[in-house]
Structure formats: C-alpha cells, structure tokens
Structure 1
Amino acid sequence: MGQTTRVYLVDDNDGFRDSTAWLLQTAGFEVLAYASGPEFVAAYAGERHGEAQECLISDMRMPQMSGLQLQDELQRRGIALPLVFVTAHGDVPLAVEAMRKGASNFLEKPFGDQALIDAIRAALANARNQAGGGAQGGKLASLSPRERQVLDLVVASKPNKIIADILGISIKTVELHRSNMMNKLGVRSLPELMKVALGHG
C-alpha cells in the first residue's frame, strides 16, 4: 500500500471548500479543510507529521490572512509544504510573486477537476525530487539551478511567457533553457518531459 497523501485545503468560501474537499477525497487524497490561514497554521502546528506526503492548497485572497501572508508565515516557521494557490483572474500578479517565493503552482478559478489533481501530484513530485528521491534523481541532478526552475514551471503547465515573467528573463532565454533541459534529460516531447519530471520516466 502506498504512502498516504494528505492535502490541506484553505479557502474562506464554504461552497468551494466543500466541493473541492469532496473531489480530492474521491481522487484518493486525505483532506483536511480550513476556513482561514490562522486556523490552518494553529492546527498544523499541533499535529505530528512525517508519515504522509503533504500538500497545501490555498486561496489567494482571504480575510484575516491572505495566501501570500500564509506563505510568509509558513516560511517564518520553517514549514516547507508544497503549495498550490487557487486564484481569481485578477490575482495572477500576486500568484507570480508567490511562485517567486517558492509556491509550486497556481490555478485560476474556474479550473477543471483534473487540473487540480495534476497540480497536486506535480507539486508532490517536485518536493520528492528536490529531497533527492525518485528514480530520476541522477538525470535531474544534471540540470543547472535555472534549468530546474524552468522544469518546475513547465511541469506546472506555465507557458513560456509566464515562466519568463516569474524568473525575470526573456522568452528566448526560457526557450534556450527548455531546449538544454530536454537534451540533458533525453526527452523530445512535453509528455516525455512530464514523465521524467514526475518520476515515471
């Protein structure tokens, strides 16, 4: 039996929180849902961790504590959780800032069920690879830090323009890093690249 995957869901919208928790439970995740950042932080600090893979999904705009403030608070406490933000269309610049600070991904509402499940799996795979796990550790270790950043953003389904914005480089430079990265990993297509990045290659 595989390791449990626990998803923490933080969103102040009751309807969204309930429907998303149900979706993720149906997909096989253990889900703990919270209406605010402070509520999640207090509960997380009181739990034991280590027996499950963990991922956090957080709304970007919430009363009491915004998604960015929650991200800052977790970093201040030394809590390193793969983090996926869900955001309204107007919050994309905030989400880009969150990714610069280390968030794994952001999804614009409304998004498809599979997009959320894929984002969680990619975030968990990235966290495992960064910890040195996964059969692809050797190949991935050959990437430069910048190529690694580009890879994570490609896996997060970000187009070249968004990757360029997040990393503060030109689209041409992104294309060059993508080309070098695919050569190093021995892949020729995006589906092959995703397999290697997610540890299935």
Structure 2
Amino acid sequence: MLHIIDDEEVIRDALSWLARSRQIAAHSYESAEKFLTALDRPMAFDTQGDCILLDVRMPGLSGTSLFEMLASRQLIKRLPVIFLTGHGDVPMAVDTLKRGAFDFFEKPFNDNKLMDRVQEALTQSRQAGSAAVIHERLATLSGREKEVLDLILQGKMNKVIADQLGISMRTVEVHRAHIFDKMQVKTAVELAGILK
C-alpha cells in the first residue's frame, strides 16, 4: 500500500492516479496527524509492502517531524519514506537520507523515476515484513523447541536428535510437529528455506 501524505489535494489525487497506473494500491492523507491516527488503529501491514510518499512542509506536524516519529518507533524499514518537496535543498536531502529515508524527490519530479523508487521501497518493506513475521514466529518456540529446531536445521534425523538431547524419539516428533505448526511450514526443507 502506498500512503500519500500531502496537504495539497491536487498532489494527492495526481499521485494516487500515478500509483493506480502501476497497479499499486494507494491511500492518501491530508496531514501527518491523519496518518498517525490511521497508523495507531489496529491495522495489519500490507503483505505486498508499504511505502510513504511524504511532503516535507505541511501545516501542523511537518513531514520531517513525522519521519522522526516513525524512526523512533523503528518503523522506517517496514514503512520506507520517500520525501517530496517543492522547497528542498541539498543539505535537507542529505540529512534525511543519512537518517534512513528511502529517497528524496524535488517537485516537479519524473513520474516514472518516482514510481520505480516506490516499487523498490515496497519490495524492501515486503522483505522487512516477512523477516518480522518469521522473528515473531521464532519467539513463540520454547527453549527445547529451539534446541530441536537447531538440530533439524543441521539435517539431523529424529533418532539422532533424541540421542543428543537425551529425550525419547516420540518427544522429538511432538516438538517437531509443534515447530512446524508454529513456523507454519510442512517440511524441514520449507523450514530451512524461510530461515536462511
């Protein structure tokens, strides 16, 4: 999902149309405050990734202030920010990029270059989201399940795992089933694939 945050309606409409021309779902917000309200509601991130097109200068909370808030919440990997400005300068662009912004475009901008960068940001977001989901699933494993998981990833058979951990083969099978269930995989190969 592309989140367009700009106080000018004509810009929001143009960017929404541009996104649709690339088959990118978009939602627009007239202020940083409106976006924060939406962000604070229980909302799932888009499985196809998220990206923010953010105007630097807006009444109320500025784009740079919103960016700082997102960075402090450690959300800029999952919600990469591309700044848009009609008043940009080189030091501002360099500073925002150093602090983790995905990119910085001055208005008027090249539509195709902007949308290419949006698509790259969506890809980064999708990858960051996948990593976060896998990390959350790993966190649900018990200590013993993590030990069994490590041995599964080493290619050890159930009997060898049982011998190494001093438990029964049946217990290994139960742990293995719980691991597969919690990690939402069906095979050891699939498990290794998501953890590589």
TM, length-normalised to structure 1 = 0.57
Match in the other structure for 2:23: 28
Match in the other structure for 1:107: 105
Give the whole-Å Cα distance in 1 for the aligned partners of 2:130 and 2:43.
23
How many residues end up aligned between the 2 structures? 128
Mapping of 1:64-79 within 5 angstroms?
64-79=60-75
Cα-Cα RMSD? 2.1
Q: 2:117 aligns with which of 107, 116, 119?
A: 119
Give ranges in structure 2 of 5+ residues lacking alignment.
132-196
Is the partner of 2:58 in helix, strand or coil? coil
1:30 to partner: Cα distance: 0.8
1:49 to partner: Cα distance: 1.8
Match in the other structure for 2:57: 61
Give the whole-Å Cα distance in 2 for the aligned partners of 1:72 and 1:16.
23
Give the whole-Å Cα distance in 1 for the aligned partners of 2:33 and 2:6.
11
Give the whole-Å Cα distance in 2 for the aligned partners of 1:17 and 1:129.
27
Give the whole-Å Cα distance in 1 for the aligned partners of 2:111 and 2:121.
16
Give the whole-Å Cα distance in 1 for the aligned partners of 2:90 and 2:58.
15
2:86 and 2:106 in contact (8 A); partners too: yes
Give the whole-Å Cα distance in 1 for the aligned partners of 2:93 and 2:35.
20
1:127 to partner: Cα distance: 4.3
Match in the other structure for 1:96: 94
Give ranges in structure 1 of 5+ residues lacking alignment.
1-5, 134-201
* Change over 3 Å in CA distance of 1:28–1:98 after alignment to 2: same
Aligned-pair identity in percent equals 34
1:58 and 1:85 in contact (8 A); partners too: yes
1:60 and 1:91 in contact (8 A); partners too: no
